[in-house]
Amino acid sequence: MPGHHPFYTGVLAICAAFATPVALAQAVSYPTKPVTIVVPNPPGGVVDTSARLVSDSLARQLGQAVVIDNRAGGSGNIAYQLVARAPKDGYTLLASYSAYHVGNPAMFAKLPWSQKDLVPVALIAVATNVITVNPALPANNLKEFIAYLKQNPGKVNYASQGNGSLSHVGTELFTQVTQTRMTHVPYKGSGPAIQDVLAGQVQVFITTPPSVIGHVQTGKLKALAVTSKTRHPMLPAVPTTAEAGLPGFELEAWVGLFAPAGTPPEVIAKLSENVKKVLEQPETRKRADTVGIEARYMDPAGLGALVTKDTEYWGKIIKARNITAD
């Protein structure tokens, strides 16, 4: 066997010895130019807000500019495909939204990207959801709301940010858990959805707090419950679903940073460490609270495990409720 020849063994040993220092040198010098974070949503939403939460401080940590590139459209697939096909050098990252990352594989018959094309860098933020209704709806708490839905099956309309969005799948999960029926009205994003809920065209919107906090505080929307274990810092008077009589119904959206598969592990490790430092800064946590999200770090292995768990969980709901992207 030629593999056993001393010459080959020596060459292999020399190659192995040089490979690691080269990769390490790459990681030590990284980054030598600006880093781009591609956001699959328009400015202002929870994903964009999460990416901007870390970008400035991360730029200071890395000593290079961190640029946000909003590539909305195609249920996130435009941005995901762009990053999946980007050079594997750590200069193009994706701010991934959980609904797209774990929901799209179950909703699209054909995707222009796959989860295998992306490797986790770090979880950066988590956002709970809040169950909001138009004030004209005759329900002042979650129990009254569920009772009203049971008396009026299919007569209440709920808004979503589009087919297959977390607001769509999450509300379907809510109706499954409460054994109620509502009529789905999909919108292109939370902006137009909120306008119609405020106008009373649709009555219900389950969404992340940043887009509705202002309207809840001014009384234009009623918040019945937050779908997390603890109350929301910006909505201290709103009970959790468990406190409101619906234990076990929790709905969280997460945002994580991912890189193209094949990016050197040393670069991933360096990025992840720096993101961790940014998220541990008190000012980052304060800013997160103000915009209604929770800064939460998770390392690449932890984020990878979360993707696996959520893909299975949401996949089951999407298939059971026959949810498609069209």
Residue 203 has pLDDT above 60, yes or no: yes
Q: Please state the rounded mean pLDDT for residues 169-186.
A: 96
Q: Are strands 157-160 and 183-186 parallel, antiparallel or unpaired?
A: parallel
Q: Please state the rounded mean pLDDT for residues 266-293.
A: 95
Q: What is the pLDDT of residues 72-112, one digit of tens each?
A: 988 899 999 999 999 999 999 999 999 999 999 999 999 99
Residue 261 has pLDDT above 60, yes or no: yes
Residues contacting residue 58 through CB under 8 Å, at least 6 positions apart: 35, 66, 274, 275, 278
CATH 3.30.1330.40 for domain 31-126+253-320, yes or no, is no
Query: Alpha-carbon torsion 258, 263, 266, 270, what sign?
Result: negative
Contact 59, 65 (CB under 8 A): yes
Q: Locate the domains of the chain by residue range.
A: 31-126+253-320, 130-226
CATH 3.40.190.10 for domain 130-226, yes or no, is yes
Residue 254 has pLDDT above 50, yes or no: yes
Query: Could you tell me where the DSSP H helices lie in the chain?
Result: 6-29, 46-62, 77-84, 98, 104-107, 142-151, 166-178, 190-199, 213-217, 265-280, 282-291, 300-320
Contact 210, 232 (CB under 8 A): no
Q: Please state the rounded mean pLDDT for residues 128-135.
A: 97
Torsion of CA 221, 226, 231, 237, to 10 degrees: 30
User: Rounded distance, CA 74 to CA 194, Å?
Assistant: 21
Q: Please state the rounded mean pLDDT for residues 171-200.
A: 94
Give the confidence band of 11 by pLDDT, cuts at 50, 70, 90: very low
Q: Please state the rounded mean pLDDT for residues 258-283.
A: 98
Among 4-18, 95-109, 218-232, 251-265, which stretch is predicted with the lowest mean pLDDT? 4-18
Give the confidence band of 19 by pLDDT, cuts at 50, 70, 90: low
Give the confidence band of 20 by pLDDT, cuts at 50, 70, 90: low
Give the confidence band of 7 by pLDDT, cuts at 50, 70, 90: very low
Percent of the chain with pLDDT over 70: 91
Question: Mean pLDDT over all residues of the chain?
Answer: 91
The reported pLDDT for the residue numbered 140 is 96
Residue 129 has pLDDT above 90, yes or no: yes
HSE, CB side, 13 Å, CA atoms: give it for residue 200: 5
Helix (H) or strand (E) holding 251: none
Contact 181, 171 (CB under 8 A): no
Give the confidence band of 223 by pLDDT, cuts at 50, 70, 90: very high
The reported pLDDT for the residue numbered 162 is 86
Q: Please state the rounded mean pLDDT for residues 5-12.
A: 47
